[in-house]
Structures are given as C-alpha cells and as structure tokens.
C-alpha cells in the first residue's frame, strides 16, 4: 500500500466506526464495501484487517461491560456460528481464488440485504425466543463473519426483537463479534493467509476507529434516529449496488 491508500483506509475505518457507534452495527459492511469500491487492497486481506480492528474495538468495550453479557444466549449463538465461520472462510478463499467478480456480487448482495432492517427496525417481542432461533441466526452470523468479518446484521436483527435490556444486548453482541474475530484470525494464521507486510500499515486504523467511536459519542449528527437510519441505508445500498452491478454486467456479457 502506498501512503495515499493507507490514509484512505484509515479515514474509511474511522468513518465506519463513527456510523457503527450511532447505529449499533455496519462497521464491517461499510468498510468492506468501501474497500471493494476503492480497491485499496484485496477483499480477502481487507477481511482480516477488519477482523483485527473489530477485535481491538470489542476488547475496549468489554473491559467495562462484560458483566452484562447474556451468557446462555452467547453460548447458543457460538455453538452454531463458530463452525459456520470456518465454512464462510473457506468459501471466501474459494471465491477469491476462482471468481473475484462473484465475490464482489456476493459482498454487494450481503450489504444490500443487511441494510433492509434499517428501513423498518424489528419490533420487540415479549415472548421468549426459541433456542433454535439463536442457533439459526448464529449460523448466518458465522457465515458472514467467515466471508467478510461482518457478523453483525443477523444477530443485531434477532437480539433487538427480544425483551432484554439494550445494555445486555449490546455487550452480548460485542462478545460474539470479538470471539468470532478471534477464531477467524486463528483460522487465517493457521491457513497461512495473513496479509503481506505491505498491508500491515492499515492497522494504524485502530487509532481512527477509536477516534470515530469517541466522536460519535460526543458529537452525534443533528439528525433524528429515523433520518440517521435512512442515511446509513442509502450508504449501504449505494456501496452494495456499486459493487454488485458492474460485476454482474461483466459476468453476463
């Protein structure tokens, strides 16, 4: 990476962290979408860097909030997400090695679909959610984590339908993200596909992630929650379509 690409990635990571702090998710999706559009690095390497940044950010958050984690739900989610994470990782490896255009289409579709709950957030349900539902959404989360280090959307949707407190939901989700990122990093190292040293300067984005998180807490935009959700929806849809449509046109030619 040259200096311009490093600066660009660091700024994109800070912006994604800012949005995530306001909305509760979208860090990985926004950053992967921005990388896909700008081509500052290969998507496979970007997923590793995003995972490291997610692990770092989650570690900071959990130093104070780990006591609020919903442990039984966390175990259920991990039971299905961790095996599917490995499946998602090797699917990414296959697509990155054999069809980069298809990889861009998959990422674009995932981003667009994941943005849809922003239009109509899930309504809370006082009835207890079944164990199978946690296993199902955990599996979806694991696949997305393995593919793009973006395990949030399925679980954010599912947990926010529950009657648990916002703090408990947030800390449980952060715990899932951290553990998924840690296991994915172990798989990457074991598979020998950690990014080349030329991409390591992108890890400087830990500072912009910290700055973006603090900025969102202290200086949120003067927008209503509804307007904020629509803005993020447009950002996600725009990036997803920008990735998927050109690749789809090229394949269909």
pLDDT for 97 beyond 80? yes
Residue range 104-118, pLDDT digits in tens: 999 889 888 888 877
Residue range 146-178, pLDDT digits in tens: 998 888 788 888 887 887 887 788 788 888 888
Task: Decide if 99 contacts 210 (C-beta within 8 A).
Answer: no
Helices within the chain (DSSP H only): 3-23, 27-38, 43-65, 71-98, 100-115, 131-148, 152-159, 166-191, 205-218, 225-252
**DSSP code of residue 66:** G
- The predicted structure's pLDDT at residue 90: 92
- The predicted structure's pLDDT at residue 163: 78
Residue range 7-63, pLDDT digits in tens: 999 999 999 888 877 776 678 888 988 898 888 999 899 999 999 998 887 777 777
Give the up-direction half-sphere exposure of residue 182: CA atoms within 13 A in the CB hemisphere.
11
- For residue 185, which of 79, 71, 86 has the smallest C-alpha distance? 86
Read off the pTM. Answer: 0.86
- The predicted structure's pLDDT at residue 65: 61
pLDDT for 84 beyond 70? yes
Structure tokens at 117: 């709950």
């Amino acid at each position: 990476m040259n200096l311009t690409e490093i600066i660009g990635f660091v700024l994109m990571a800070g912006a994604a962290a800012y949005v995530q702090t306001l909305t509760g998710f979208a860090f990985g999706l926004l950053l992967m979408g921005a990388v896909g559009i700008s081509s500052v690095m290969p998507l496979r390497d970007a997923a590793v860097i995003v995972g490291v940044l997610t692990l770092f950010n989650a570690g900071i958050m959990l130093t104070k909030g780990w006591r609020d984690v919903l442990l039984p739900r966390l175990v259920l989610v991990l039971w299905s997400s961790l095996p599917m994470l490995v499946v998602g990782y090797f699917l990414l490896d296959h697509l990155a090695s054999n069809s980069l255009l298809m990889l861009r289409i998959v990422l674009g579709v995932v981003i667009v679909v994941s943005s849809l709950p922003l239009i109509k957030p899930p309504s809370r349900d006082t009835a207890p959610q079944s164990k199978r539902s946690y296993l199902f959404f955990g599996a979806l989360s694991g696949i997305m984590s393995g593919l793009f280090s973006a395990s949030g959307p399925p679980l954010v949707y599912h947990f926010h339908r529950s009657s648990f407190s916002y703090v408990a939901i947030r800390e449980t989700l952060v715990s899932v993200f951290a553990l998924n990122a840690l296991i994915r990093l172990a798989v990457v190292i074991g598979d020998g596909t950690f990014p080349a040293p030329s991409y390591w300067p992108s890890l400087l984005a830990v500072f912009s992630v910290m700055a973006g998180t603090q900025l969102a807490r202290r200086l949120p935009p003067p927008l209503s929650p509804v307007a904020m959700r629509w803005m993020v929806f447009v950002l996600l849809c725009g990036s997803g379509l920008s990735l998927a449509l050109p690749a789809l046109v090229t394949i269909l030619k």
